[in-house]
Amino acid sequence: MAEEKIIVLPGDKLDGPNLEVRGLGRNYATYKLGDEVYAALPGVLEVTEEKKIYIPLENVYIPKPGDIVIGIVVNVGLSYWTIDINAPYNAVLTAQEFLNRPFNPASESLSLYLVEGDYVIGKISSFDRFRSPFITLKGSEKFGKIVKGKVIEIKPSRIPRVIGKKRSMINMLMEESGCDITVGVNGRIHINCDNPHIEDIVTLAIKKIEAEAHTSGLTDRVRTFLKDKLSNS
Amino acid sequence: MSFTPFRIPIVPQLKKNMILSLIEKGLRIDGRRPEEPRPVKIVTHYLDKAEGSAYVELGKTKVIAGVKLEVGEPFRDMPDLGVFTVHAEFVPLASPSFEPGPPDENAIELSRVIDRSYRELGAVELEKLSIIPGKKVWIVWVDLYIIDHDGNLLDASMIASLAALKTTRIPGFKVEGDNVVVDKEATSGTLPLKEEAVYVHIAKIGDHLIVDPSLDEEVVADSRIAFAVSRDGRIAGIQKMGQGGMTIDEINNAMELALSVAPKYFNAVDAAVNNEGNEGR
Amino acid sequence: MKYGEKPQLIKEDGTRLDGRRPEEPRPIHMEVGVLENADGSALVSFGKTRVLAAVYGPREPIQKYMVLPDRAILRVRYHMAPFSTGERKSPAPSRREIELSKVIREALEPVVMTELYPRTMIDLFIEVLQADGGTRTTGVTAASLALADAGIAMRDLVSGVAIGKVNGKLVVDIDEVEDMYGEADMPVAMATRLGKVVLLQLNGVLSKEEFVKAMDMARKTLEAISEMQRKTLLEKYSKVLQS
């Protein structure tokens, strides 16, 4: 399967009937003029004999229901927290969602539980661009306040590479390092290792993935990189 | 700082659809043809206390221009030239979308666009406005007052300023040493004007170009452009406005349209100036 | 109303004061991603004119009422640094800067896909570091690179250049001296792939024939500038394909 990769820029034509848009939805990354489809963002176009795949290299994270995100508390309200999710819209985490019980703002203060600067992992439960996105903490024992480990931030457009095809990259990262890694699709990644030094090495490995996202043989190179650094430590 | 307008007047969707479907047939909501400006009404000598003034109606858009002459000091780098300045106020009584306060970007743009055309043409003979070279000159203040906004403030304001400048008298004055004593009751001459221009504002709606857009048409327009045209048919200023683009062909067509419409505006100004007082108060 | 001793702007051999041919722009330099904090940034220079542009957003506006339900609001500030000019420029916004902020915003509105980001604000800050003619067109060129760098969806890049008339001759990319003593300054910006003119002003007087010719010169130059912008972005991203 011959594969060619080229960089495309806003205004470049992405013709061909079998165009697939990865990462963001088609509407966020391309536009139509007549019958032709054009790129709206800098991206990579992978051309094979069967199809063309367009993957944006820069984009703004737009939340959608079901996304796992890592947020930062930016405001403590009376009955909800405002959460920065690295998106154009701040998200809402309600007291009831966090505490999983009825909450009376008259007798309790939310700052007992989460304050500005705290990290939370959760899932977008609803968002339609007309109202703020809401975060739910149901669905995984990982959801909730982050109390340990490290959170790093990369371009949201590189997140699919950190996960890899069929989770190949993320599984490799976890196996080689022995750490627990949670990827927020909003560009934030939680790394939780027994040893803070290993957290730094995993950080470097993820930064390498971000920089070389679309080179071939990346998984193997990152594996070698990790092995090398871990054996020297 | 410039913001995407978020307080623009709302044109109801039905009206918008009507404007668009009429334009497709080469018609306009007020019955005009695409290349037809609204009727121009000009009253010169509208005010007593200004050295020059005009009241202009372009359709329902109404503008007052006042020209005041004052004795002042020249700019240091142009010691022998009079000073010419244009200022526009969008007073709040003119539109629900105008707010009290300092001029906004639209008022600033309007006054600078008009100022530039007079300046670049060398319209006002500033060298004749020196009183004591290097020390005292006439300062010409052109103040544009928008009092009713029904679109195309630029053409209306330019016509008002031109009619006012053409009928501006210079007050009587005496030089006493380094001082100039002005007698506003007397007249020592008329303002020396060697070039003239009008603006022709064109809106693009769909694929169609229309002259002198009304407010509704301005709001639904994809893009707008205005050409200043001199008496002898040269282009003495351009300003593209609005939120859409235009092809070079569309711009060239708009330019031709502007050149063909400009004589109508000049004729209206001439008729008003030559019949001075007839239409006055 | 030009004043002072006017230099001969076109020499005997047809070249300009700085040796350029009439249709030759100044040396152009472009860089993207030059600022750490901004979501997107670019530094562009045309000769001695040097402009920095930065994009923040789309983000929730601080003033909650400054929103539109169906699109993002663009907020543009064109500003000249106090040291950018011969005499120190007061940092307070001038009437000129207010007008140019508006025309630059209107030049970007047609290409930025604001409909994708309703209820948000996209901030674009343009700082003129050194002014030697053509600052608004350099600014709009830098701004569109910064928007691409920020990952904000756009239909095309925007490229700008000023056409001038000096000593009776039309020339491309006028500098400060040519602007000061020339007969006309016509800044133009285009989305060249879309074939749309998005910024056009004329300070000066041109005949109809001169205007048509000037627009044609602008289009040719802008197509070349657009290719330079693309090359600048391609260089940045070529790294993600080759290690």
Contact A60 C242 (CB under 8 A): no
Kindly identify which residue of chain C lies nearest to residue A25, measuring between CA atoms. C116
- Strands of the sheet containing C40-46, edge to edge, are B2-3, C73-80, C121-130, C49-59, C40-46, C28-32
The 8-class DSSP code of residue B124 comes to B
Look-up of token digits 């004795």: B71
Chain A touching partners, 3 or more CB pairs below 8 A: C
Share of chain B above pLDDT 90, in %: 86
- Whether residue A162 has pLDDT greater than 60: yes
Q: Which residues 173-212 of C have a C-beta within 8 angstroms of B? A: 184, 186, 190-191, 194-208, 211-212
B127-146 pLDDT, tens digit each: 999 999 999 999 999 999 99
Kindly identify which residue of chain B lies nearest to residue C97, measuring between CA atoms. B1
Reported confidence tier of residue B279, pLDDT bands at 50, 70, 90:
very low
Strands (E), chain C: 28-32, 40-46, 49-59, 73-80, 121-130, 159-166, 169-172, 184-191, 196-204
The arithmetic mean of pLDDT across residues C229-236, rounded, is 96
Tell me which CATH code domain C28-242 carries.
3.30.230.70
Give SS3 for C48. coil
d(CA C1, CA B84): 11
Contact B120 C95 (CB under 8 A): no
Reported confidence tier of residue B261, pLDDT bands at 50, 70, 90:
very high
- Tell me the chain C residues in contact with residue B78 when contact means C-beta distances shorter than 8 Å: 1, 3
Position A131 scores a pLDDT of 84
- Tell me the chain B residues in contact with residue C195 when contact means C-beta distances shorter than 8 Å: 247-248
**Average pLDDT, whole number, for chain B?**
94
Task: Assess C124–B contact: CB distance below 8 Å, yes or no.
Answer: no
- Whether residue B280 has pLDDT greater than 50: no
Reported confidence tier of residue B15, pLDDT bands at 50, 70, 90:
confident
Tell me which CATH code domain B13-275 carries.
3.30.230.70
Give the ipTM of the model, two decimals please: 0.91
Query: Among A7, A27, A88, whose Cβ lies nearest the Cβ of C58?
Result: A88
Q: Residue ranges of the domains in chain C?
A: 28-242
- Tell me the chain C residues in contact with residue B236 when contact means C-beta distances shorter than 8 Å: 202, 204-205
Give SS3 for C131. coil
- Whether residue A23 has pLDDT greater than 90: no
d(CA B59, CA B214): 8
Distance from first CA to last CA of chain A, Å, rounded?
40
Contact A129 C58 (CB under 8 A): no
Chain B touching partners, 3 or more CB pairs below 8 A: C
Which residue, among A45, A59, A35, A49, has the nearest Cα to A12 in the 3D structure?
A45
Share of chain C above pLDDT 90, in %: 90
Residue intervals of chain A classified under CATH 3.30.1370.10 are 150-231
Q: Which residues 51-70 of A have a C-beta within 8 angstroms of C? A: 56-60, 62
d(CA A8, CA B193): 56
Position C4 scores a pLDDT of 56
A213-222 pLDDT, tens digit each: 888 889 999 9
Contact C58 A60 (CB under 8 A): yes
- Tell me the chain C residues in contact with residue A213 when contact means C-beta distances shorter than 8 Å: 240
- Give A20 to chain C, closest Cα distance, Å: 17
- Tell me the chain B residues in contact with residue C102 when contact means C-beta distances shorter than 8 Å: 2, 105-106, 109
DSSP H stretches of helix in chain C: 95-108, 135-149, 176-181, 208-241
The token pair that represents A184 in the structure block: 């927020």
Position A2 scores a pLDDT of 58
Instruction: Give yes or no for a contact between B29 and B18, defined as CB atoms under 8 angstroms apart.
Output: yes
Contact C58 A11 (CB under 8 A): no
Task: Assess A90–C contact: CB distance below 8 Å, yes or no.
Answer: yes
- State yes or no: chains B and A have 3 or more CB pairs below 8 A: no
Chain C touching partners, 3 or more CB pairs below 8 A: A, B
- Whether residue B278 has pLDDT greater than 60: no
- Whether residue B217 has pLDDT greater than 50: yes
Question: C102: which residues sit within 8 A by CB, 6+ positions away?
Answer: B2, B105, B106, B109, C76
Instruction: Give yes or no for a contact between B22 and C83, defined as CB atoms under 8 angstroms apart.
Output: no
Tell me which CATH code domain A68-145 carries.
2.40.50.140
B147-176 pLDDT, tens digit each: 999 999 999 999 999 999 999 999 999 999
Residue intervals of chain A classified under CATH 2.40.50.100 are 4-56
Tell me which CATH code domain A150-231 carries.
3.30.1370.10
Contact B240 C200 (CB under 8 A): yes
Position B6 scores a pLDDT of 82
Contact B120 C204 (CB under 8 A): yes
Position A4 scores a pLDDT of 87
* Sign for the pseudo-dihedral over CA of C96, C97, C100, C101: negative
- Give C159 to chain B, closest Cα distance, Å: 13
Kindly identify which residue of chain C lies nearest to residue A215, measuring between CA atoms. C241
- Tell me the chain A residues in contact with residue C241 when contact means C-beta distances shorter than 8 Å: 5, 7, 44, 214-215
A96-145 pLDDT, tens digit each: 999 999 888 888 899 999 999 999 999 999 998 678 999 999 999 999 99
The least confident of B11-15, B97-101, C148-152 is B11-15
C7-39 pLDDT, tens digit each: 889 999 999 999 999 999 999 999 999 999 999
Reported confidence tier of residue C243, pLDDT bands at 50, 70, 90:
low
Residue intervals of chain A classified under CATH 2.40.50.140 are 68-145
Query: How would you label B202-236 residue by residue, b for 16+ Cβ within 10 Å and e otherwise?
Result: bbbbeebbbbbbbbbbbbbbbbbbbbbbbeeebbb
Task: Assess B112–C contact: CB distance below 8 Å, yes or no.
Answer: yes
Contact C106 B243 (CB under 8 A): yes
Distances (CA, A) of C130 to A145, C45, C50, C133: 48, 9, 5, 9
The 8-class DSSP code of residue C200 comes to E
Query: Among C152, C233, C239, whose Cβ lies nearest the Cβ of A60?
Result: C152
Position A215 scores a pLDDT of 87
Query: Among C74, C200, C207, whose Cβ lies nearest the Cβ of B4?
Result: C74
C73-103 pLDDT, tens digit each: 999 999 999 999 999 999 999 999 999 999 9
- State yes or no: chains B and C have 3 or more CB pairs below 8 A: yes
Does the domain at residues A4-56 carry the CATH identifier 2.40.50.100? yes
pTM: 0.93
Amino acid letter, B220: V
